[in-house]
Chains A and B, each alone.
Chain A
Amino acid sequence: MTATTAPTSPIASRPDFAAIAAWVQSGSKVLDLGCGDGSLLCYLRDTRNVRGYGVEIDDANVLACLNNGVNVIQGDLESGLSSFESGSFDYVILSQTLQAMKHTEGIVREMLRVSREGIVSFPNFGYWKNRLQVVSGHMPVSETLPYQWFDTPNIHLCTLGDFEAFCHQHGVHILERRVMNGDHQITLAPNLLGMLAFYRFERQK
């Protein structure tokens, strides 16, 4: 489930990791869904002293997690999180994977079952460069959407507005939003100027 994760780069140059870490309390227990090579968990372990597990389907990534000394459970997110007890985590993170999930509603429901809070990040389809490419007659190909229409794993792309409407309809209470363009935070017209969106949310009380 990590096909859309950007190629591994030195952790220090991952502003998306820093954005997520800023929301994670020190010493908390974290589940990282679609954890790739485990570098986000390494980052959180080193900067936030978190304990946790990654879930990953890809063999090479599972091996990379072991090399990185990260707990990883090989499995398919589409079939749920039945190995994990309800309420057993402080945070469940779905980093740049939501848009590649078949069962969007299912995974969000599962996230809020096993955890107090959920954190997702996804490429904002409403980013102006994406819109421009669609207007010019082509599916967007960019840094955050590096695939051609025919080979993309991204089947559920959305905009900030779409995701917020989804949350509203599905009893998901958004606690915080952060919109980034590279390492800059975007506050003005985020649905147009933001490349990557981050949300922290909980169950609607």
Chain B
Amino acid sequence: MQDSILTNIVTPQYARFDTPLYLKSGAVLDSYELVYETYGELNAARSNAVLICHALSGNHHVAGSYADNPKNLGWWDNMIGPDKPIDTHKFFVVGVNNLGGCHGSTGPASINAKTGKHYGADFPVVTVEDWVETQVRLADYLGIDHFAAVMGGSLGGMQAMRWTLDFPERVRHALVIAAAAKLTAQNIAFNDVARQAIITDQDFHGGDYYSHGVVPRRGLRLARMLGHITYLSDDSMAAKFGRELRNGTYAFGFDVEFEIESYLRYQGDKFADQFDANSYLLMTKALDYFDPAHEHNGDLSAAFRAVTANFLVLSFTSDWRFSPERSRTIIKALLDNELNVSYAEITSSHGHDSFLMEDRHYHQLVRAYMDNIVT
């Protein structure tokens, strides 16, 4: 463990759970595995643990790199590590790949022990509540009674919120970044176009493409291209690509001409090579279903009534997918319940992706908040 602090080298670890998991959908998973990584050391009082929840395409590899692949930096390495805003000298950080994912935790691409085949379309739909339940089990497994903080951006922020609702005694602080209390119709619409791109790909085979030896690559690629547009802002795209042409002149055809086309296709290809289409479907559904106010007749303040955690809520000015207005809805519910909460609206041109970017003010805010957490 000490070595990992010094060199930032991490190793994924696996935890197996054989207690049946009753999912919100009514389905039951008899057993499953979660892949996770840890950074820093759990203190003697076991009071310094921080859980990082990932978003749509994230995973357990949040920080550091691997001994056999030093270039593979964790997706939030600019935020988490020794002397970083989430300082692993102080905190014991846990990153976990969510159930249904495709980076090592049990998901649609895993082999179903009952059938000896890939789960494929048989893998049940999972919700944010289900994820939190599995994360609680992982916490038990790691001997963590309560987290000093649960933190996440976007869909990860929704998990952090859900923790405070479902396990108020097990989370002291929630850092909810670029998130929302529920998706808008527009958000769901984007997700459905992405899903339709995958499902209508002729290589999808009703989700059982594994046995056909193919992947619905075109669909997944389109889904990612669409998603990527919504994660950037008009301004950042204009600044980065404008109307730049790859070859300086119009070709009057449908091949890649504009730089933005090239960029999106590259992002789509890269993603299609490393992500499982079924997992993508599941993640987007978890987003769509998230709506804690739903069980309280749409009253988010009522949903937060049992919450005791302290909150840091952050939004980014150019994020139109999860706009600052969406964060202010969360703030209102927290204020109505007289919870300790701070909110900052960070000026950034990077759209929804801002939460992953290195930004001095953003990181100072997180650092300041984390510094005041008693462990």
B369 at the binding interface (Cβ < 8 Å) = yes
The reply to whether B368 and A66 contact each other, CB–CB distance below 8 Å, is: yes
Q: A45-101: which residues lie under 8 A (CB-CB) from chain B?
A: 51, 53, 59, 62-63, 65-67, 69-75, 82-85, 88
Given the interface pairs A59-B361, A83-B331, the reply to whether A66 lies near B369 with Cβ below 8 Å is yes
Q: Are A74 and B345 in contact (CB under 8 A)?
A: yes
Is B340 an interface residue, CB under 8 A from the partner? Answer: yes
Indicate if B336 sits at the interface (CB-CB under 8 A): yes
Q: Do A88 and B368 touch (CB < 8 A)? A: no
- Find chain B residues with CB under 8 A from A71 CB: 340-342
Q: Tell me, yes or no, whether B275 is within 8 Å of chain A by CB.
A: no
Assess whether B338 is in contact with A62, with CB atoms less than 8 Å apart: no
The answer to whether residues A83 and B365 also contact, given A62-B344, A66-B342, A73-B341 and a CB cut-off of 8 A, is: no
A29 to B361, CA, bound (A): 29
Assess whether A74 is in contact with B343, with CB atoms less than 8 Å apart.
yes
Number of interface residues of A (CB under 8 A): 21
| Residues A63 and B342 in contact, CB atoms below 8 Å apart | no
Q: Please tell me if the beta carbons of A65 and B364 are within 8 angstroms of each other in the complex.
A: no
The residues of B that contact A84 with a CB separation of less than 8 Å are 335
Most A Cβ at <10 Å: residue of B331, B343, B372: B343
Tell me whether A73 and B331 are in contact (CB under 8 A). Answer: yes
Chain A interface mostly helix, strand, loop or mixed?
mixed
Contact present for B365 and A63 (CB under 8 Å): yes
Cβ-based interface call for B4 (8 A): no
Question: How far, in Å, is B87 (CB) from chain A's closest CB?
Answer: 15
Q: From residue A35, how far is it (CB to closest CB) to chain B in Å?
A: 11
Query: With A and B bound together, what is the CA distance between A122 and B340 in angstroms?
Result: 29
A51, A65, A82: which contacts B342 (Cβ < 8 A)? A65
Q: How far is the CB of B175 from chain A (nearest CB, A)?
A: 12
Which chain A residues border B368 with CB–CB below 8 Å? 63, 66-67
Q: Which residues of A contact B46 (CB under 8 A)?
A: none
Chain B residues whose CB sits within 8 angstroms of the CB of A83 once the complex forms: 328, 331-332, 335
CB of B372 within 8 A of CB of A74, answer no
Q: Is the CB of B331 within 8 A of A63?
A: no
Chain A residues near B343 (CB, 8 Å)? 72-75
- A55: min CB distance to chain B, Å: 10
10 closest Cβ pairs, A-B complex: A66-B368, A67-B368, A74-B344, A69-B372, A73-B343, A72-B342, A74-B345, A62-B344, A83-B332, A66-B369
Residues of A within 8 A of B (CB): 29, 51, 53, 59, 62-63, 65-67, 69-75, 82-85, 88
| Apart from A62-B344, A67-B372, A73-B335, 16 more pairs, CB < 8 Å | A59-B347, A62-B342, A63-B344, A63-B364, A66-B342, A66-B365, A66-B368, A67-B368, A70-B342, A73-B341, A74-B344, A74-B345, A75-B343, A83-B328, A83-B331, A85-B335
* 19 CB-based A-B contacts, threshold 8 Å: A51-B338, A53-B341, A59-B346, A59-B347, A63-B344, A63-B365, A66-B312, A66-B344, A71-B340, A71-B342, A72-B343, A73-B331, A73-B335, A73-B341, A74-B344, A74-B345, A83-B331, A85-B335, A85-B336
